[in-house]
Structure 1
Amino acid sequence: MFAISGGGTGGHLCVAKALAQELVHRGESLIYLGSNAGQDRAWFETSPLFVERYFLETSGVVNQSFAKKIPALWAQLRGAKKAMGVLKTHHVRALISVGGFSAGPGSLASILSRTPLFIHEQNAVRGALNKYTAPYAKRVFGSFAPDKFGPKFSQTPYPVQEIFFKKARIRNKIETILFLGGSQGASAINDFAILCARDLLQKGFKMIHQCGTLKFDRIAALYKGLGILDRVDLFAFDSNLVEKMHQADICVSRAGASSVWELCANNLPTMFIPYPYAAANHQYFNALEFEQEGLSQIIPQRSLRPPQLFEFIEWLQTPQEQGPLISQVSLRLRDKISSNGARVIVDQILADLQSQA
């Protein structure tokens, strides 16, 4: 029996799902340890990947005021006590933490009960929880530069779900632009899409816009006011988001780790607008490696203007010997990631457990 712990946001939960799918494929049984806060229940409450699911009363600690940190830490400790009982009840062989505040109780319970702990660090900057738990982990996995994470670090392909590779294609021209505001709706990207919409449509481009559930009515009203609502593929949230990616030729997106690597797996050239208030500015560093390799562009939110999108489009349309630049970028994105990330990680976990048996 394995336990997977962590979540809170979609980025952590994407990794949890990919690893869970691989472990189930190997015939392993799983339990999930998450939180009642965040998106954990929405993702896994009825998931057949797990034989049991536990949602604890925890919340984030980082970036809280001192007055809120104390009860948040106390909730983490109470959750750890319950998690220790869960690990014992299910005779858990190892716990895999995918990070986020949801992983706190499970990770602490793993350390206290001496259950082997494995960590997946999604971002290019180590998360707050992982800074404290990594010294006690058997191994830390990640896909960004290994020199930042210490001697227990193993660099692996990012565990992206297979569907993103199956729906991938090489882009050779730009007809459709996808704006990804995320399931919660990034106001900066939503507003940017509105500002760009008329010029994009006048120039013959098609638009797909994910604006988030809570923002849908406002954004729909703005498009209606411009008289173009019927010409934009606007949606709040779509569990089949990969199909929208498949239709698009370029993307405008935040730079959460899972988004960065899913777009890479889909071979979709992207202009990244990192969330400026992310812990340790990690979204910027997630996208930086791609920009340095000429595979994307980063635009700081504070300086975001419509002409920058058209400059990005023009850059990708630059003629090369073998076609426009977008073709080369899309091909190099394909070559940057392999589809076996979850398999490589699970192989290593099983080997580590076997070696200590």
Structure 2
Amino acid sequence: MRFVVTGGGTGGHIYPALAIARGLQDKYPGAEILYVGKTGGLEAGLAARAGLPFQSIPLAGLQRRLAVRNVTAVWQAARGVVRARRILAGFGPDAVVGTGGYVCGPVVLAAALTGIPTLIHEQNALPGVTNRLLSRFVSRVAVTFADAVRYFPRRDRVVLTGLPVRPEILAFSREEARRTLGLPVTGKLVLCFGGSQGARTINGAMAGVLPRFAGRPGVCFIHVTGPAQYDSFMAALSRSGLRAPQSGNISIIPYLYEMPAALAAADLVICRAGAATIAELTVAGLPSVLVPYPHATGNHQEFNARALERQGAAIVIRDAELSGSVLATEVEQLLADERRLQAMAGASKKMGRPGALADITGLIDQLLS
């Protein structure tokens, strides 16, 4: 079997594509998989690290306003379809899978127009422009959130699968995870992070939260600042009179390599609302306080966060409304209300899709039959 996977621009598009590629290799031993991405994009290096052959298409992104650059972008997209048809003709895939980003458009469209079975996967509750346009042509659309279904005109082709998560997310029990992290087996753990680079607004709020809980028995905190913001965060804490290592129940680190263990050990998570993060939270069945990144394309992180909020799995605080006092109050109330915390955990678990990858590869299998 031969497959083309495509998706690019951001890790949010690339990592699902790589996960699906691995799933196809497991499902079809000996399968050949070609990754097609944008020239100069992040995906080239990540595909190489995953051991996948790579071919590129030169493209430019459309601006969300009238701009001369859009003429060039449309011209390159048209040429991209021609380039994609050549790539597909040379490789001869049995199916093509796209996960979003500009490069996904020409590749999936070229495949659909030549009769190759096609599937696109949408990660967010608010679908991207590329996937919304492609949905009119493809064989199937897989979505992460039920809220996304209504944005696609041909709903009979849309299937709720969830987003593939790292298998290690489910590898730890709570007790094993706490032993791995050197934490007490009992008591509450609040985990806070803002992505691999950190989140300045969340860090600013946490500098006001942690002094309120320092030394409190029965609760501990792990706060991940991001490498570039660690020193400034520690300086801010010091000005507040808190020396975290001496407080006993607070751990502040620039980067967390043991994230799967931390998620398994946690009782409450404070974080952004990227699709991959939310997929991991719900698979783990974790209640959360979500602070959507306000500059995400189309404000899609807020749509993601509100999807959890509507199901009772999360509390949403907009970035512009976040402060130390607001966040501390929310955390205080949640930790004091075990029944509410458990209800949120249950709602989160119901939204989780641990079988997402198997469901997606199963859809692809249906397209081949």
TM range (shorter): 0.7 to 0.9
Match of 1:325 among 315, 328, 340: 340
Equivalent positions of 1:29-178 (< 5 A) are 29-36=32-39, 39-48=42-51, 50=52, 52-63=53-64, 66-145=67-146, 146-149=149-152, 150-167=155-172, 169=174, 175-178=188-191
TM-score (norm 2): 0.82
Equivalent position amino acid for 2:188 in 1: E
- 1:181–1:340: structure 2 CA closer, same or farther, 3 Å change rule? same
Contact 2:13 2:99 in 1 (8 A): yes
For residues 5-26 of structure 1, the C-alpha deviation after alignment (integer angstroms, 9 at most, x for no partner) is 1132222233223212211111
Q: CA deviation at 1:237?
A: 6.4
- 1:298–1:341: structure 2 CA closer, same or farther, 3 Å change rule? same
Indicate whether 1:306 and 2:324 are aligned: yes
- In the other structure, the counterpart of 2:181 is none
RMSD: 3.0
- 1:67–1:136: structure 2 CA closer, same or farther, 3 Å change rule? same
Q: CA deviation at 1:327?
A: 3.1
- 1:199–1:56: structure 2 CA closer, same or farther, 3 Å change rule? farther
- In the other structure, the counterpart of 1:235 is 254
Match of 2:203 among 173, 190, 207: 190
Q: CA deviation at 1:214?
A: 4.6
In 2, distance between residues paired with 1:70 and 1:220?
Answer: 48
**Structure 2 segments unaligned to the other structure (5+ residues):** 179-184
- In the other structure, the counterpart of 1:292 is 310
In 2, distance between residues paired with 1:13 and 1:82?
Answer: 20
In 2, distance between residues paired with 1:178 and 1:309?
Answer: 13
Q: CA deviation at 1:213?
A: 4.7
3-state secondary structure, aligned to 1:339: coil
What is the percent sequence identity of the aligned residues? 27
Equivalent position amino acid for 2:262 in 1: K
In 2, distance between residues paired with 1:219 and 1:318?
Answer: 27
Contact 1:15 1:159 in 2 (8 A): yes
Contact 2:60 2:72 in 1 (8 A): no
Contact 2:192 2:269 in 1 (8 A): yes
Aligned length: 348
Higher alpha-carbon deviation: 139-148 or 205-214: 205-214
**Structure 1 segments unaligned to the other structure (5+ residues):** none
TM-score (norm 1): 0.85
In 2, distance between residues paired with 1:47 and 1:224?
Answer: 42
In 2, distance between residues paired with 1:340 and 1:53?
Answer: 28
In 2, distance between residues paired with 1:168 and 1:103?
Answer: 38
- In the other structure, the counterpart of 1:348 is 363
Equivalent position amino acid for 1:12 in 2: H
Contact 1:318 1:324 in 2 (8 A): no
In 2, distance between residues paired with 1:7 and 1:59?
Answer: 12
Higher alpha-carbon deviation: 92-101 or 139-148: 139-148
